[in-house]
Amino acid sequence: MAFTFQINNDIKFNHNEDLLAKAEANRPTLKHTVVKPTDLVDIVADSAAFNGFKAVSNQQAIENLPKYTLKKGGKLVLDFGDHQVGRFSIDIDSVGSPMDAPLYLHLTFAETPAEIGVEASTYDGWLSSSWITEEYVHLDVLPAKLSLPRRYAFRYVEIEVKDTSPKWQASFSNPEVVTESAVSMDTVPSVKIDDPMLKKIDEVSIKTLHDCMQTVFEDGPKRDHRLWLGDLRLQALANYATFNDSELVKRCLYLFAGMTTVDGKISANVFTEPKPQPDDTFMYDYSLFFISVLSDYYTQSQDMTVLKELYPIAKRQIDLAIAEVGSDDLLKMNEDWPVFVDWSNEIDKATAGQAILIYALKQFVDMAQQVEPTAVQHYQKLVASYSKAAIDQLFDVQQGLFVSGPNREINIASQVWMVLAHVLDDQANNQLMSKAIESLFPVTGIATPYMYHHIVAALFESNHRTDGIKLIKSYWGKMIELGADTFFEAFEPEDLNFSPYGSPIINSYCHAWSCTPTYLIRKYLVN
């Protein structure tokens, strides 16, 4: 995920060294593979292509790369055949007279063709331009191996010779990427998926998750490189269904648990380099999802040690969340601790927030039954009263849909989260989603796979299997049709050129919160 900026750098944080030591003890050893490019391509403007550009093979075998000599202004684009996360290197030599000036190169790493096609200097969005993955490099002496120190996420690498001299040209050989991930692709159990599109979606989901699993569950390996709690929840679920690396989930739980505010509140995300550090950004639903991630982890691993150790942190989250509820048993909106739900600021999020509170509260009660049975009754009562308040005050019986906010707005997020929280019984849930399909489909104005995940999950949870499959195919399948090697951070099917940042070059095209179809397929459709 990525989000608008909160600046709260006066907030004081705890650093529980004991918990952080456990996070460190579960730091994965990254696995590496060496990948070579498969083709030389040209990036060509095409209004019909995704973001206006496509990659076209230049019909020269990649084996001919060393025969190319590039002078000032010369360019070539390597195609690595699939999305890669890792370190790039290439051998460079001079051809002609002796090298009488430095070689000046510009390299652009691109997950999609448009990131090369669109001129980087035109970017003027609100997110830092420092995320644009381009480098300028001077080499004083050739031959040399250029081994760039940074990790990149890319399929395509454009190499542009900014200058040589009239006396010699540059030549290139042996390009490669040494990939990095906490997990290996070959550890995923294969399952039988008959539908070829769903099978492909499952594969791309797994590749997306794989490339985001680094020393933490990153949101995106191109951009933010960061552990967000809401994203972690979905990544962990997809991980259980595929790589099943429970240590990495454990590490992330300890990272969040070890760095709460002095009041005990968990940040929306944490940084880990050069040392663990919490962000000063807080979101109501993300804090609650600590409970959800811990609960899911326990369900998956039956690891009572971790559950017992982190239960107090989870309890603190639920108690802080409850304090935001009014005497009418409804969540009050608080600008300083906003409910995220989705990037869209057009939708009212009060009812979705109420549902997420109930959703997390139910998972908390399950954990309390294991760890602190005496507490169960108190929280069970809250589940009941908050659910009752939701039904009494937020459910519009006439329309058969939940409303949200002072204007009694009807939006998809409210329905979806109420379904996922199972505030209604199964039959009413089914009717609710039928109504939602009738009134609110096709979904518009939603750009995040994160929200689309919850819509599909709600369809499956409410026994709308066919609609769930249809939405997976129309949303994630559409990305594949557009050439996705991994699933995107942001995607609006009704506006293919949508970017939350005003330019395709800053978008992340391998973003963890879009990896969930493998979880949905394997949970609801395969077993």
Contacts with a copy of itself by CB under 8 A lie at 5, 7-9, 72, 96-104, 126-131, 135-136, 138, 140-143, 150, 162-167, 224-226, 271, 273-274, 277-280
Nearer to a copy of itself, 104 or 441 (CB): 104
Q: Any idea of the CA torsion for 220, 224, 227, 232, to the nearest 10 degrees?
A: -40
How crowded is the C-beta side of 322, counted as CA atoms within 13 Å?
18
Provide CB contacts within 8 A for 345, sequence distance 6+.
none
Cα(47)–Cα(51) distance, integer angstroms: 8
Q: Is 107 helix (H, G, I), strand (E, B) or coil?
A: strand
Nearer to a copy of itself, 224 or 245 (CB): 224
* Residues 509/488, Cβ–Cβ less than 8 Å: yes
Nearer to a copy of itself, 7 or 262 (CB): 7
CB of 331 to a copy of itself, least distance (A): 27
CB of 338 to a copy of itself, least distance (A): 17
Nearer to a copy of itself, 38 or 277 (CB): 277
Provide CB contacts within 8 A for 24, sequence distance 6+.
none
CB of 73 to a copy of itself, least distance (A): 11
Alpha carbon separation from 233 to 5, 72, 346, 514 (Å, rounded) = 22, 49, 24, 12
CB of 341 to a copy of itself, least distance (A): 21
CB of 155 to a copy of itself, least distance (A): 20
Cα(499)–Cα(448) distance, integer angstroms: 11
Nearer to a copy of itself, 259 or 416 (CB): 259
Provide CB contacts within 8 A for 445, sequence distance 6+.
344, 346, 347, 492
Nearer to a copy of itself, 278 or 504 (CB): 278
CB of 178 to a copy of itself, least distance (A): 17
* Residues 473/201, Cβ–Cβ less than 8 Å: yes
Q: Is 7 helix (H, G, I), strand (E, B) or coil?
A: coil
Cα(379)–Cα(314) distance, integer angstroms: 13
Cα(230)–Cα(140) distance, integer angstroms: 46
Cα(476)–Cα(485) distance, integer angstroms: 11
Cα(505)–Cα(518) distance, integer angstroms: 27
Cα(161)–Cα(229) distance, integer angstroms: 42
Cα(517)–Cα(105) distance, integer angstroms: 40
Q: What sign has the CA pseudo-torsion 94, 97, 98, 102?
A: negative
Residues in the chain: 527
Nearer to a copy of itself, 239 or 507 (CB): 507
Nearer to a copy of itself, 86 or 278 (CB): 278
Nearer to a copy of itself, 278 or 468 (CB): 278
CB of 5 to a copy of itself, least distance (A): 5
CB of 165 to a copy of itself, least distance (A): 4
CB of 448 to a copy of itself, least distance (A): 19
Nearer to a copy of itself, 271 or 488 (CB): 271
Nearer to a copy of itself, 102 or 483 (CB): 102
Position 66, amino acid = P
CB of 393 to a copy of itself, least distance (A): 38
Cα(159)–Cα(75) distance, integer angstroms: 6
| 86: alpha, beta or left? (left if phi > 0; alpha if psi -120 to 50) | left
Cα(321)–Cα(334) distance, integer angstroms: 11
CB of 403 to a copy of itself, least distance (A): 35
Q: What angle do CA 492, 496, 497 make, to 5 degrees?
A: 110
How crowded is the C-beta side of 104, counted as CA atoms within 13 Å?
8
Nearer to a copy of itself, 239 or 272 (CB): 272
CB of 221 to a copy of itself, least distance (A): 12
Token digits for 495?
Answer: 């506006």
